[in-house]
Amino acid sequence: MSIALRDLAAAVAGTVVGDPALPLAGAATLETAGSAEIALVDGADKLHLLARSRAGAAIVPRGTGPLDRPTIEVDDVHAAFAATIVRFRPPRSRARCGVSPQAVVDPSARLAADVEVEPLAVIGPDCTIGPGSTIHAGARLAAGCTIGAGSEIFPNAVLYENTRVGARCIVHANAVLGAYGFGYRVADGRYALSAQLGWVELDDDVEVGAGTTIDRGTYGPTRIGAGTKLDNLVMIAHNCRLGRHNMICSQVGVAGSTSTGDWVVMAGQVGVRDHVHIGDRAVLGARSGVSGDIEAGKTVLGEPAIDLRDRKLQLATISKLPEMRKELKQLAARIEGLERAGRADEPPASAEAA
């Protein structure tokens, strides 16, 4: 399929600079685009990459001006490029087929209108599935689970009993919601599992990444606030309360009974100890080790996590250690030389006596 540059520009409310009739057959990144494809340049600092690219045209920020090849100038380059990709590679459509005869649905489960349950999915007793929801192949919902309207549970996700999922949520493949918390007590010389009587709740518009685990509460819910996004391979322990619109990146681990405010960001591989609170709009830098409460609006980094400014000063100092060590050795040598010279100038003991 070939599309003229002017037609792509019209579809994204852009302005053509160059040949409007240029035919294009696809969209790709600057590194991989060929002469019949259009690429994305999302800032002036990327123009040098375009100069080395084979792309036949580019989508650029408005006001960039003429370049060495045709462009479409737009206000929002990422939205325009996404729309362009869809023009060349429209989403694969499939008709909804309802409940597959190869699915296992308990007779007591309540399924609303337009629910899709794919082959080999298992819906346990007393589950409630909201309208327009999709349960993909191999997903397993234990007894008493509730799925809100328009939510999607991807293949092989497991929801333990009484898990509650809000509207428009996404639970990706192999995620586990509601497993037992890692809580033990010593009894008669061995570990005994503590009470596991709680459940997991996702508020509306939550996304749970592939392979992510959220443990049930001990007595009540482990709760994820509305709009919060959990990346792949995240671990949220029992009794945690995450606020609204948190952004939790891959391989983060949050220990039990921790709470967060709204709009908190945790970068990759952050570790948070138990029973702490992270305030609204706090940012935890990658691989931070959090051992205490973090104030609202604060950005921290390091192990243990400290204020970003202080951490940068520490890193700057550490980078100078080899130079400082060399200077220290030189100073020590000078001092030793001065001490030897001073001892040489001292009169002999016999002369002092005379």
Rg (CA), the chain: 30
* Cα angle value 85/91/96 (rounded, 5°): 165
The tokens describing 73, both together, are 């100038």
Distance CA 176, CA 159 (A): 6
Distance CA 187, CA 191 (A): 6
Do residues 238 and 257 make contact, with C-beta atoms less than 8 angstroms apart?
Answer: yes
Q: List residues bridging with 192 in a β-sheet.
A: 185
Candidates 136, 238, 245, 277; catalytic one? 238
Q: Which of 239, 238, 265 is nearest to 252 (CA)?
A: 265
Distance CA 211, CA 147 (A): 19
Q: Any alpha helices (H) in the chain, and if so which ranges?
A: 5-11, 47-52, 77-88, 308-319, 321-345, 349-353
The tokens describing 338, both together, are 């001065």
CB atoms within 10 A of CB 240: 24
Do residues 80 and 59 make contact, with C-beta atoms less than 8 angstroms apart?
Answer: yes
Would residue 238 show up in a list of annotated catalytic residues for this protein? yes
Do residues 141 and 178 make contact, with C-beta atoms less than 8 angstroms apart?
Answer: no
Question: Beta strands 15-17 and 158-159: pairing type?
Answer: unpaired
Q: Which residues of 158-197 are buried (b: 16+ CB within 10 A; e: fewer)?
A: bbbbbbbbbbbbbbbbbbbbbeebebeeeeeeeeeeeebe
Do residues 302 and 291 make contact, with C-beta atoms less than 8 angstroms apart?
Answer: no
Distance CA 23, CA 152 (A): 38
Q: Any idea what DSSP says for residue 111?
A: E
Q: List residues bridging with 349 in a β-sheet.
A: none
Q: Which residues are marked as active site?
A: 238
